[in-house]
């Protein structure tokens, strides 16, 4: 029978989006110029404006989205990749694009995944970190600038619990709560106090332990084990949320006194959920990606859709997605390739609910 899906996980890429419902079904929409939707088709000028169910026979638990590729973990810990593969970001040993999910490293089970613009990171169930894809700024962390088309293990001997990938840089948290960063660093996005690229992981010391990280184009967010929010990197559009447009080369605390539980980063905008379920946004807003009804940049966090409690948040390049505590999906921002999933290609400056997630059992 038909039933409404309770959504649990979301991911936003350059111009496409993915969600998982509570039955493990995977849905995708937006640009399909490199097969990143995963429905077996590719259209360089094409896009899907409403969610399409992907690989119906498999149940998924986690997703992440890059510029033109997608990653997902199934309920058995299997890793699946699809989409553009020019730099080996799919990890299948080739540079051939895939329009349907293909399983990678089949003898290993995975628990976390992150897609950068053109590189990929995963953590297996033993806490080992693996990387592949583009490596022009050392974002793979293997001390080289050589692209890799198959997974390689990074920082052997260290066990990791969380990972994030941005535009040519990477962030990870180990099982002691230490923060590690590497790759491109021209705007201080690594948080090590410099603007020097790093070709292997470096530990960032700020006197606290971390539980979550998020990476954007050139700025980063992290939550520590007390729920405090830290930001660093590029800040030309106020994306750090510190009230300025000054780049920060080391982490700075944002909105002291508020405890945060979830974070997401777009090209130059940021979203967070606090421990009461409130949604706050700030940064670049030229496509309405902040959802406040304007196209005005915000240099400090502002609440969006007050009165609604949220449980998950994701950011694409210049669009945003959240799930409320009833499992409903809300989207806003840039929509020129249908990445909002509302059946149009019209930008939205306020959150709109997507209601098409109905499956037949």
- Whole-number pLDDT of residue 4: 58
Q: How far apart are CA 130 and CA 60, in angstroms?
A: 20
Closest CA to 67 of 38, 93, 42, 34: 34
- Cβ 28 vs Cβ 70: under 8 Å: yes
Element (H, E) at 271: strand 269-274
Nearest to 309 by CA among 296, 293, 322: 322
241's tokens: 């949320």
Contact 14, 316 (CB under 8 A): yes
pLDDT in single tens digits along all 361 residues of the chain? 345 578 999 999 999 999 999 999 999 999 999 999 999 999 988 899 999 999 999 999 999 999 999 999 999 999 999 999 999 999 999 999 999 999 999 999 999 999 999 999 999 999 999 999 999 999 999 999 999 999 999 999 999 999 999 999 999 999 999 999 999 999 999 999 999 999 999 999 999 999 999 999 999 999 999 999 999 999 999 999 999 999 999 999 999 999 999 999 999 999 999 999 999 999 999 999 999 999 999 999 999 999 999 999 999 999 999 999 999 999 999 999 999 999 999 999 999 999 877 654 4
What per-residue confidence (pLDDT) applies to 358? Answer: 62
**Domains of the chain from N-terminus onward:** 2-360 (2.130.10.30)
Q: In DSSP terms, which residues pair with 270 in a beta bridge?
A: 265, 282
Residues 165/215, Cβ–Cβ less than 8 Å: yes
Please give the Cα distance from 43 to 41 (Å, whole number).
7
Measured CA to CA, the distance from residue 152 to residue 258 in angstroms comes to 38
3-state class of 112 per DSSP?
strand
pLDDT for res 45: 87
What are residue 301's DSSP bridge partners? none
pLDDT at 2: 41
DSSP lists the bridge partners of residue 320 as 315, 332
Question: What's the DSSP call for residue 38?
Answer: -
User: How far, in Å, CA of 290 to CA of 23, rounded?
Assistant: 30
| Structure tokens belonging to residue 211 | 């539980």
Backbone φ and ψ of 100, nearest 5°: -135, 155
């Amino acid at each position: 029978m038909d039933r409404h899906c309770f959504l649990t996980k979301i991911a936003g890429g350059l111009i496409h989006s993915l969600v998982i419902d509570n039955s493990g079904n995977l849905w995708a929409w937006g640009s399909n110029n490199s097969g990143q939707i995963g429905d077996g088709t590719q259209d360089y000028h094409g896009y899907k404006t409403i969610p399409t169910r992907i690989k119906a026979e498999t149940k998924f638990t986690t997703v992440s989205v890059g510029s033109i590729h997608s990653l997902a973990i199934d309920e058995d810990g299997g890793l699946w990749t699809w989409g553009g593969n020019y730099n080996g970001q799919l990890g299948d040993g080739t540079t051939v694009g895939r329009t349907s999910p293909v399983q990678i490293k089949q003898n290993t089970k995975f628990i976390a995944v992150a897609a950068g613009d053109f590189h990929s990171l995963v953590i297996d169930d033993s806490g080992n970190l693996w990387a592949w894809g583009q490596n022009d700024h050392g974002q793979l962390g293997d001390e080289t600038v050589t692209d890799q088309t198959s997974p390689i293990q990074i920082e052997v001997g260290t066990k990791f619990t969380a990972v994030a990938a941005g535009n040519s840089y990477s962030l990870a948290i180990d099982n002691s709560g230490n923060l590690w960063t590497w790759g491109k660093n021209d705007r201080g996005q690594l948080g090590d106090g410099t603007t020097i690229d790093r070709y292997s992981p470096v530990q960032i010391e700020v006197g606290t332990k971390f539980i979550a990280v998020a990476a954007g184009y050139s700025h980063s967010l992290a939550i520590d084990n007390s729920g405090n929010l830290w930001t660093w990197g590029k800040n030309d559009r106020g994306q750090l949320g510190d009230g300025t447009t000054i780049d920060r080369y080391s982490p700075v605390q944002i909105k002291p006194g508020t405890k945060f539980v979830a974070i997401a980063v777009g090209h130059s905008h940021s979203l967070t959920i606090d421990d009461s379920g409130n949604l706050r946004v700030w940064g670049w807003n030229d496509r309405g990606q902040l959802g406040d009804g304007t196209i005005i940049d915000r240099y400090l966090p502002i609440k969006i859709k007050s009165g609604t409690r949220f449980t998950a948040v994701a950011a694409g390049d210049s669009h945003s997605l959240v799930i409320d505590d009833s499992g409903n999906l809300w989207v806003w921002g840039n929509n020129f390739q249908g990445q909002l999933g509302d059946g149009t290609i019209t930008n939205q400056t306020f959150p709109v609910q997507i209601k098409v997630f109905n499956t037949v059992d």
